[in-house]
Structure 1
Amino acid sequence: MEQLDLNQIRTFIKIVQAGSFTKAAEVLRQPKSRVSRRMAALEKELGVQLIYRTTRQFQLTEIGRQFFERGRNLIEGLESLSSEISETTSEVSGLIRITASDDMGILYLPALLDEFCQVYPQVRFEILLTQSYVDLVKESVDVALRIGALKDSSLKVRKIGNVKSIFVASPGFLERYRQIEDLSMIHQWPFLSLKQQEKLDVYRDSDSKKITLKVKPTFSSNNPSMLVPLAVRGRGLGFVPEFLCREHIRSGRLVHVLKNLRSDEVPISLVTPDQKEVPLKVRKFIEFAAKRLKELF
């Protein structure tokens, strides 16, 4: 007992919290083999079995359950103390891994990260931009900027606002299609579509009533960022996220039309893996990013 290793106890706690050796290894950012060795060493040191193992799952023994309940308080208390001491003695530094959709990331992250690095120059960033879902734990990602409702309840979510799509068209397009406010004509106009959709659900601002419109896509894409420059060039009526076309509307390159119609509003959030102690660099970034992004959304 005099040689009991706190790292072994911490590994056991993380295994139970994660629900598997594999997930615990991901959380601890260690090889699964090391996690297994530490678990075996802890049981050998204690002289008791804490976990019944099978090929696909495990179950706590009674003594394992008791050891977990009391050991968890010990480990979480030490982690909290360590974090408090580090926060007062260490500068904000190190690598932060971020993921976002490519349209949102390209538009907003450069200025945001540049401003943050002016305050905390010892921080480095690795940025993963993709339209696909990213498993934050599996990919060791610290922060995600996500649009839409989140299905994974194990993540920590900080909502920063809402986004919606609106109808936009170029001045030249409006010259050619002067009956733009006549919804009965919309199926006759060139339309810029996501994923070749021929039906579009929109909502009226006046009463939130849902309306389904038939449209005729002339260009379609899996990424709305592709549709905005096509709308600027007059290639069709676009229904795109408002944040992507704000500057074009301000400059007059695009006109917001059918202003009483919009998409359903969806949340935009900063998301992190659920962990007891969030690193100081990540907490500082989330606080900074949330404040800046709330000003935009």
Structure 2
Amino acid sequence: MSIQSEELRTFVAVVEAGSLSAAAEVLEQTTSGVSRALSRLEEKLGASLLTRTTRRMELTEEGRAFLEQARSILAALEQAEETIRTRTRKPVGKLRVDAAAPFMLHCVVPHVGEFRDRYPDIELELTTNDRFIDLVEQRADIAIRIGALQDSTLHARALSSARLNIVASPAYLERHGAPDSVEALEQHQLIGFSQPETLNHWPLRHSAGDRYQTRPAIRASSGETIRQLALHGQGIACLSSFMTDADIAAGRLVRVLEHYDSGYRQKISAVYYHNTQLSRRISCFLDFLQDRL
């Protein structure tokens, strides 16, 4: 006959309470019911777990060995129950999400309505920052970052990756023509980032490798500012596909030097502290966002 979890709970309760009557009170059962459950357990095991006297109860050698196992089994059952409850419980509370402004505008904001319809009890607080931040200092639960992550004690989750497009507006290309080689970029007005300088190393194959170091004539700290400058015909820029694919499809921007593309893709990752109370809200948001990406 198989052992039931209630029999294990009865045995542990008797040991911890010190007597059948005290255990019966804890379990909200009768003393005779507790006694019968304990007897059934001993019968199934074929061993005596407790030595009963008129004054006290003591564990036998078999009882001491079995107690540790019983507690482990009950703890595992409680953990399994909590896991299922957490999965089925509707996530509630505030979730603070930080991302670079272009990613927030192009990849998060368009889907907020759908997310709110699905999880109406999650209060979203969205902030933008183009640099790596201290989550505690900025009061953020999740930070979404583009590119290689710095060494960190934070949990990280890869969400997707993005191609980089070398683009210019039709108006700019009409005035200056399209470059026919990577080296020809030196005769064009380029738009780049003020920092970090690595963002101005464009993924283009040329005689010296597959990353071309540019010298921007115009620099900006935000990718969205660079996009607007490109749309207004101020030069050639290198921007993530999630920022420029819609512009390319609409004819507002045109890809140049496609045949020299090295195939490099920027990583899109989320970083966060592990927090049991937040974990359900975090996983809901990241699962949702990853599906959209």
TM-score by length of 2: 0.64
Name 2:54's counterpart in structure 1. none
Contact 1:228/1:240 (8 A) holds in 2: yes
Contact 1:194/1:223 (8 A) holds in 2: yes
Q: Is the partner of 2:135 in helix, strand or coil?
A: coil
- 1:155 partner amino acid: L
- 1:125 partner amino acid: L
Aligned CA RMSD, in angstroms, stands at 3.4
Contact 1:205/1:261 (8 A) holds in 2: yes
- 1:272 partner amino acid: Y
Alignment CA distance shift 1:149-1:200 (3 Å): closer
CA distance in 1, matches of 2:76, 2:181: 62
CA distance in 2, matches of 1:154, 1:77: 31
CA distance in 1, matches of 2:172, 2:161: 29
Per-residue deviation, residues 182-218 of structure 1 (Å, max 9, x unmatched): 3333222111121186995334469993243453x33
Alignment of 1:206-217 (within 5 A): 209-215=209-215, 217=216
Aligned-pair CA distance for 1:142: 2.3
TM-score by length of 1: 0.63
> Can you give the 5+ residue segments of structure 1 that lack an aligned partner in the other structure?
3-73
Considering fraction of residues, name the structure with more strand: 1
Alignment CA distance shift 1:75-1:136 (3 Å): farther
- 1:267 partner amino acid: K
CA distance in 2, matches of 1:198, 1:277: 38
- 2:289 partner amino acid: A
CA distance in 2, matches of 1:120, 1:201: 40
Name 1:273's counterpart in structure 2. 273
Name 1:290's counterpart in structure 2. 290
Percent sequence identity is 25
Per-residue deviation, residues 15-64 of structure 1 (Å, max 9, x unmatched): xxxxxxxxxxxxxxxxxxxxxxxxxxxxxxxxxxxxxxxxxxxxxxxxxx
Name 1:189's counterpart in structure 2. 188
Name 1:202's counterpart in structure 2. 202
- 1:253 partner amino acid: R
CA distance in 1, matches of 2:290, 2:233: 35
Aligned-pair CA distance for 1:266: 2.4
Aligned-pair CA distance for 1:168: 0.6
Alignment CA distance shift 1:108-1:208 (3 Å): farther
Question: How many residues align structurally?
Answer: 220
Alignment CA distance shift 1:198-1:175 (3 Å): farther
Q: Is the partner of 1:289 in helix, strand or coil?
A: helix
CA distance in 2, matches of 1:112, 1:264: 27
Contact 2:164/2:203 (8 A) holds in 1: no
More deviation, 125-134/277-286: 277-286
